[in-house]
Amino acid sequence: MKTFSFGAGLLAALLVFGGRAAAQQPTPGPSPAAPPDVSAIMKESFPMADSLDAASPAPAASPAPLAPMPVGLPTPMPSPVASPVPAITNVPGLDTQLDGQIEAGIPDPMQMTFPTQPEIPAPAIQKSPDPVTTIKLPPASSMELRLTPDAQNLQIDDAIRTALTKNPEVLAAIQQISRTTGQLIQVRAALLPTLNASSGYEAQSEDLANPNSSIRGATFGPQPNNEAWNVNISVNQNLWSGWKNQADFSAARLANDSSFYALRETIDKTVAETKRLFYEVIFNRALIRVREESVAVLQTQLQDQQSRFEAGTVPRFNVLQAEVALANAIPPVISARNQLRISQFALVKQLGLDYPADPSLVPVDVKGQLDYRPIKLDLKESVFAAMTRNPSLKIQRQNILIDAERLKAAMSGFQPTLNATAGWQTFNIPLASSLDETVNGWFFGVTGSWNLFDGLATIGATKTARAALEQSKINYDNSARGVELDVQRAVSNLIEAQEVIDSQRASVVQATEALRLSRERLDAGAGTQLDVLNAQVALLQAQTTELEARYRYILALAEYNRVLSLDTVYADTYDDPMLTARDRRRNDLLNSAPNPNPGVLNGVMPKKNETLPGRPKKEKKPKKPAPTPMPADAKKSVNKR
């Protein structure tokens, strides 16, 4: 690299002169007639620092004429010529040769170097991103689909039987029947007579038996015996309590019947909930399979686009689109796996099974399919059946009757009560010297009481009971409307799920064909990757929608059966859970289909004979027709034979 050293004045003169020469030189227009001669331009030379130093301060000579330039090229800039440096003598202390001392901090211009070519750092080479992606579907969790070594296959019927036998809510409802039965027996005791037997023996000192004996010389007739005994057997019976005891017994009997209806309602809910959890496991498994297949397809699509990108046939944008689509398809799979784990654990709890030592294991393996069996629906008939069979409404009707009996019991405070006592008693004669001398006999008595004023307590109790009765009527009306709404909702959900299933069956076929055509168009170069991704998303949505519709139809059907109490006709397929033979007969009687619907809306109170029908009478067999009497002539002929 060469450097030039000039004086300050000479350098400024060269720059000014060169700029003016370049600005005043005209530029002829281009002409394509003759090719340019570049060799003349390359041979042109410029004066160096050594030639400028040897030149005299004489006036500068005129510039030498340049060689003629070829036509069509611009005239080059003339070589600069150093102008004479003017002599400055007016300024004192100024050295024109710049030989004086340079102030501190100012660099010496004679020793400064200027590069002829600037050094620009080369930009860093940016490498293209690696087309191989790291987006992958994570493996299934260790808690997913892990079964115990002795896990048994579980069908829907097996699940219902197990739930009816081991579900804690069903077991609690059965114990409630025993509890209300005990209360009924306890209340009924007030209507039955009570038999009491009592006896006693007493011995005391002679001083206590005859205190007069302590006075000297005092004798007052025969001395009493210091020992005594007695035996008493009595029967007590309440003759009249103002119908209180009868009302309490009726209320307890109605509460006992209500516990059977509560068991029926619990079984309805248990069956419906077991179906929901059972088919939820199947639905989540199918949903995982569909979404994993979609992820596999998107992974294949991404690999194809990466190969095309490496070959240079598609841009990087296609690879990015495939990566985004794959990344968006992975979270739904993870969510479905989580829902499967939760549904499995919830099903185990619903069945009342004991958890194994390892809480991540499942003791049953669910087997089944999302079957679709459409049924005929009649909203009017469904509402009527629900009003007749729904156990919750029967419980509400029982509550009306119970509160009516409680009102009767509260009003009994205005009436008197009568009690009768009868029995036999024997005891020793106190003045007899021997204990063998006894007296015995029977006794009978009647006692009565009438509370003429109790501080208005009876009036307050009556007012409370009457308000409770009216409240039960209102609750019954509201429950009836709620059951009707449940039937309407269940029927509507069934219709919706049925229509969605019918519509999505054709949609899945069409989406599959659309995906195939979009792939063929992409391979042929007539389509885009976006079309393939859209078709894949449409197919996944159609498959998922059909699965959800099937699952929702099963749930709606289970809710429909629960509201109408259709699943509780389990005497045909399932045995009543853990009931005695007597309780089973009573349960079948109370919950039988011919049981009429006692009571209507608007708070009309049902009657007992409508709520508690008697045992259905057996149909009498038709009598055989009497034989036709034979004529007398025929009898004679038979006798002769």
Query: 232 pairs with which residues across the strands?
Result: 198, 425
- The residue ranges of DSSP E strands in 226-330, in sequence order, are 227-240
389 and 455 share one domain:
yes
- 368-374's contacts with Cβ under 8 Å and 24+ in sequence apart are 368/155, 368/156, 368/278, 368/279, 368/282, 369/282, 370/279, 370/282, 370/283, 370/286, 370/547, 370/550, 370/551, 370/554, 371/554, 372/501, 372/550, 372/553, 374/498
Query: 235 pairs with which residues across the strands?
Result: 195, 422
Check residues 235 and 113 and name the one with the higher pLDDT. 235
Question: Which residues contact residue 75 at a Cβ distance below 8 angstroms, ignoring those fewer than 6 apart?
Answer: 25, 26, 27, 28, 66, 69
How distant is the alpha carbon of residue 153 from its chain centre? 25
- Residue 604, pLDDT > 90, answer no
For residues 471-495, average pLDDT: 91
- Residue 489, pLDDT > 90, answer yes
Q: Is the dihedral of CA 540, 542, 543, 548 positive or negative?
A: positive
* 281 membership: H or E segment, kind and range: helix 244-311
Rounded CA separation 270/267 (Å): 5
Q: What percent of the chain clears pLDDT 90, i.e. is strictly above it?
A: 17
Question: Which residues contact residue 306 at a Cβ distance below 8 angstroms, ignoring those fewer than 6 apart?
Answer: 131, 132, 133, 319, 322
For residues 567-572, average pLDDT: 52
Rounded CA separation 492/496 (Å): 6
275 and 343 share one domain:
yes
Flag whether 399 is in a domain. Answer: yes
Flag whether 50 is in a domain. Answer: no
387 and 455 share one domain:
yes
Q: Which two tokens stand for residue 189?
A: 């005791």
Task: Name the DSSP letter for residue 234.
Answer: E
Flag whether 254 is in a domain. Answer: yes
Whether the model clears a pTM of 0.85, i.e. scores above it, the answer is no
Task: Quote the pLDDT of residue 437.
Answer: 80
Question: For residue range 165-220, what is the model confidence (pLDDT) as tens digits?
Answer: 889 999 999 899 999 999 999 999 988 999 999 998 888 777 776 766 656 555 55
Give the residue carrying structure tokens 């749930």.
555
CB 268 within 8 A of CB 459: no
Question: For residue range 41-77, what is the model confidence (pLDDT) as tens digits?
Answer: 445 454 554 444 444 444 444 444 444 544 444 455 5
Cα–Cα distances in Å, from 484 out to 136, 161, 313, 556, 566? 50, 29, 64, 15, 15
Rounded CA separation 379/392 (Å): 20
Task: Name the DSSP letter for residue 150.
Answer: E
Count how many Cα atoms sit within 13 Å of the Cα of residue 208 in the half-sphere of its side chain.
7
Using DSSP bridges, classify how beta strands 417-428 and 438-449 pair: parallel, antiparallel or unpaired. antiparallel
Q: What is the DSSP string of 412-454?
A: GGGS-EEEEEEEEEEEE-TT-SSTT-EEEEEEEEEEEE--S--
Flag whether 189 is in a domain. Answer: yes
In one-letter notation, the amino acid at residue 550 is R
Flag whether 636 is in a domain. Answer: no
Helices (H), 525-630: 529-563, 581-590, 608-611
Mean pLDDT of the chain, nearest integer: 74
CATH of the domain at 246: 1.20.1600.10
**CA-closest candidate to residue 256, choices 595, 596, 615, 589:** 589
88 and 234 share one domain:
no
Burial class of 565 by CB neighbour count within 10 A (0 to 12, 13 to 18, 19+): buried
91 and 180 share one domain:
no
Comparing 121-130, 190-199, 408-417, the range with the smallest average pLDDT is: 121-130
Q: Given pLDDT bands bounded at 50, 70 and 90, which one contains residue 599?
A: very low
For residues 398-422, average pLDDT: 91
**CA-closest candidate to residue 612, choices 592, 632, 584:** 592
Rounded CA separation 523/212 (Å): 133
Q: Is the dihedral of CA 181, 582, 265, 612 positive or negative?
A: negative
Rounded CA separation 305/15 (Å): 61
348 and 489 share one domain:
yes
84 and 170 share one domain:
no
Q: Which two tokens stand for residue 624?
A: 């055989």
Comparing 205-209, 289-293, 328-332, 394-398, the range with the smallest average pLDDT is: 205-209
Q: What b/e string do you get for 407-436 counting C-beta neighbours within 10 Å, with b at 16 or more? A: bbbbbbbeeebbebbebeeeebeeeeeeee
Rounded CA separation 519/536 (Å): 10
Question: Which residues contact residue 388 at a Cβ distance below 8 angstroms, ignoring those fewer than 6 apart?
Answer: 595, 596, 597
Task: Quote the pLDDT of residue 577.
Answer: 53
Flag whether 285 is in a domain. Answer: yes
Flag whether 508 is in a domain. Answer: yes
Question: Which residues contact residue 117 at a Cβ distance below 8 angstroms, ignoring those fewer than 6 apart?
Answer: 1
> Which structural domain, as residue segments, surrounds residue 11?
1-26+77-95
168 and 86 share one domain:
no
Rounded CA separation 232/14 (Å): 153
Query: 425 pairs with which residues across the strands?
Result: 232, 441
Task: Name the DSSP letter for residue 358.
Answer: S
Give the residue carrying structure tokens 């029908």.
613
Give the residue carrying structure tokens 């054709």.
506
For residues 364-389, average pLDDT: 86
Flag whether 143 is in a domain. Answer: no
Task: Quote the pLDDT of residue 611.
Answer: 46
270 and 342 share one domain:
yes
241 and 352 share one domain:
yes
Question: Which residues contact residue 309 at a Cβ distance below 8 angstroms, ignoring those fewer than 6 apart?
Answer: 131, 315, 316, 318, 319
Looking at the structure of the chain, the number of domains it has is 2
Check residues 246 and 94 and name the one with the higher pLDDT. 246
- Residue 18, pLDDT > 80, answer no
20 and 160 share one domain:
no
Rounded CA separation 222/29 (Å): 174
Q: Which of 50, 68, 95 is the last residue of a domain?
A: 95
246 and 175 share one domain:
yes
Cα-Cα-Cα-Cα torsion 248, 252, 254, 256, nearest 10 degrees, comes to 180
Cα–Cα distances in Å, from 567 out to 7, 335, 605? 114, 32, 28
Helix axis angle, 457-524 to 529-563, nearest 10°: 150
